[in-house]
Amino acid sequence: MRILVIGSGGREHALVNALAESSRVQSLFAAPGNPGTAKNAENVELDAGDADAVVDWSAQHEIDLVVIGPERPLVDGLVDRLQENGIAAFGPTGAAARLEGSKAFAKAFMQEHGVPTADFRVFDAGDVEAASAYLDETGAPVVVKASGLAGGKGAIVCAMLDEAHAALERIVEDKDFGAAGDQVVIESFMEGVEASVFAVTDGEHYVLLPPSQDHKAIGEGGTGPNTGGMGAYAPAPMVNGPLLTRVCREIIEPTLKGMSDADTPYTGVLYCGLMLTEEGPKVVEFNCRFGDPEAQVVLPLLDVDLADVLARTAAGELRNVSIRAAARHAACVVLASDGYPVGYETGFEITGLEEAEQMPDVDVIHAGTARQDDGTLVTAGGRVLSVVGYGTSLEQALDRAYAAADVIQFKGKTLRRDIGHKAL
């Protein structure tokens, strides 16, 4: 198979590494990729936002499968365009990707299909007075969300009512998240532990990947603003067998059936962002792609040919596929730029990476890095690297990840020291 992976982050580097292990893969490309993907794939200068360019390039290069990493091209209908041109693609169509692209759509869908989630109301940006009055009525704590795509930063958890009003103002008046704030979702705050469960599905059949836990806040103890994710580990022990059965029966199956019944079957990976509450698992959010950094810990645990599974998913042939996971643990620590997620400088030299890569049971995954003309590796984004450790226990995996994270240096390196602590 000739496979093109779309995207340039840590998730895409993890996908490339996992696909490179497949005996079915002859050629692997990443567009645009990053300095990490360049080791196992050929990086191609293609703009994922330009569907015509992706379709033309894929046709010219006889690509058998396009694997789309990030949400934006999925929501914008890249899978539809590829399929119309006879090119197989892993990911949902634009209509199905609304489960992530519009929180207003996702919440209404969950309400209609009895999928457990927090109580909510949706308001148009023009209806800010009604939204404000609703906040006064519900009080805090409360969650105020931009309905559209906001890079994982559009959900604002507000402990106090004045914070909630400020969040509403940021979303609908200051337009901090652009058009994503054309609608706003106001949700009850849910108490519990968060977990991520990924179901790979061809629209009818599905397989579960090992559950994981992300650490979204920038600060230790879950403090400060939300980021794309500062670290993760898998498997997450709190998602035990009986709980996973409930997630399947109460969340995944009604969602796949509801999408199918609406003639928008969901294919690809359904990312269930869950809150494990006293009443049971509830959906915080659906995403239409692998999580980042969760992919960095989930994919290496799979004891399967990933290319085969993704190709079968795209072809609607997942019926007899099962997923085996290795009996080990993976932990990921994200190294970010000082100031992330608000503002940060880039262009700082990264050192110690080769030493870290040579440490046993460690992978260093690139996200915001760039290679200068003279070969120097520099920082080029908010989340710079994901350092992944493996072990026979979570503790060992974490020790290895942190030991490697400590030998990598760049100006402003920022990390959380409490990844996985809740599970330990």
Q: Interface with ligand GLY by CB under 6 A: which residues?
A: 152, 214, 228-229, 287, 291-292, 294
Judged by beta carbon, residue 198 or residue 206, the one nearer ligand GLY is: 198
Write down the least CB distance from residue 71 to ligand GLY, Å.
8
Report the nearest approach of ligand GLY to the CB of residue 127 (Å).
28
For ligand GLY, which is the closer residue by CB, 94 or 291? 291
- Beta carbon nearer to ligand GLY, 87 or 330: 330
- What is the DSSP secondary-structure string of 276-333? EETTEEEEEEEESS--TTHHHHHGGGB-S-HHHHHHHHHTT--TT----B-S-EEEEE
Least distance (Å) between residue 339 CB and ligand GLY: 19
Task: Look at phi and psi of residue 47 and say left if phi exceeds 0, alpha if psi is from -120 to 50, else beta.
Answer: beta
Q: Write out the H or E segment, with its range, that includes residue 390.
A: strand 383-391
Q: Minimal CA–CA distance to 339: which of 255, 412, 238, 237?
A: 412
Residue closer to ligand GLY (CB basis): 36 or 291: 291
To ligand GLY, the closest distance from the beta carbon of 12 in angstroms equals 12
CA neighbor of 214 nearest in space, from 323, 270, 297: 297
Q: Which residue, judged by CB position, is nearest to ligand GLY in the bound state? A: 229
3-class SS of residue 395: helix
Q: How far is the CB of 216 from ligand GLY (least distance, A)?
A: 6
List the alpha helices (DSSP H) in 169-261. Answer: 241-246, 253-261
Q: CB of 152 within 8 A of CB of 228?
A: yes
CB closer to ligand GLY out of 94 and 154: 154
Output the furthest CA–CA distance in the chain (Å, rounded). Answer: 60
Minimum separation from the CB atom of position 138 to ligand GLY (A): 26
Give whichever of 238 and 403 is closer to ligand GLY, judged by the CB atom.
Answer: 238
Rounded to 5 degrees, what are φ and ψ at 185? -110, 130
